[in-house]
Amino acid sequence: MNKICIISNSLKDKDLQIGKDISARFLALAASEGIEGAEAPLLDICDVYLDVPSGMQGFIVIGGDGSVLSAAKKTMKDDLPMIGFNLGAVGYLAEVELAESEKALYKLLKDQYTIEERMMLKGVVHKDGEDEPADVALNDVVLSRRGDMQVTGYRVCINGSFLSDFRSDGIIISTPTGSTAYNLSAGGAIVDPTARLIQVTPVASHMLNTRSVILSAETEVSVMILPPKGVRPVDVGAYFDGNMSRTMHPGDYVTVTADKKITRVIRISDDGFLQVLHKKMV
């Protein structure tokens, strides 16, 4: 892989200095190894649109997991694999620490890597009787109350059949990749990120014996906002990978399914999922 587009996060990488350094070191390493035609253009993830040059073979995303999630969405049309260089706190998606970046660049140039396929979710918000434009998520689709702290009602249906009503702070619908994100904090199951399934987890549910539900990737999950028990109106945000897409009200609902498109993640480490999990959690 000698043509790789570098995407950095100017909110964490001031003046994109780290991105510029990674680009220069990639090109210098390619030259020292006698690899001709190397390219490493640099883009800013904070730009609304990413104008990826033609001929690229993959992406290096510099930032935290949020940067990788944003890059996965903004580069879907390019259908190229990506690897994250971690500037964040945890970095389940950003595999490479900056101290190991030279080794990672060498492995990329020498094609010493594997590629994992990660499923994504597609969600459609049905608001005021109309279907909003679909949105996608690599980690999760979350419904969460907005404004004053109050318990909100959610009706969850699976393939059109009623599952349960929840009184809770929110509902998380996650991919296996997203199982170690908000889902983990809410007590959901940890899942191998290469699996194909959908997990539904209530957040701080005001019910006894509430558990996550793990479903086939072919499942359609529907969540409706229920009327409040009190007199105050309820506003609920629909969040795709942490970014709010729509404000929802009682009677509005979202349907979530597996998307046809996937995200391809470059892995250069020999560590398995459990080894990575252990390193990130200790």
Q: Which of 13, 21, 44, 65 is catalytic?
A: 65
Active site residue 169: no
DSSP letters, 29-56, are: HHHHTT--S-B--EEETTSSS--PPTT-
CB 240 within 8 A of CB 137: yes
The residues, any chain, with a CB within 8 Å of residue 93's CB and separated by 6 or more, are: 65, 68, 69, 84, 177, 265
Q: Residue 146 belongs to what H/E stretch? A: strand 140-146
The three-state secondary structure class of 8 is strand
Phi, psi of 247, rounded to the nearest 5 degrees: -100, 130
Are 265 and 65 in contact by the 8 Å Cβ rule? The answer is no
Active site residues: 65
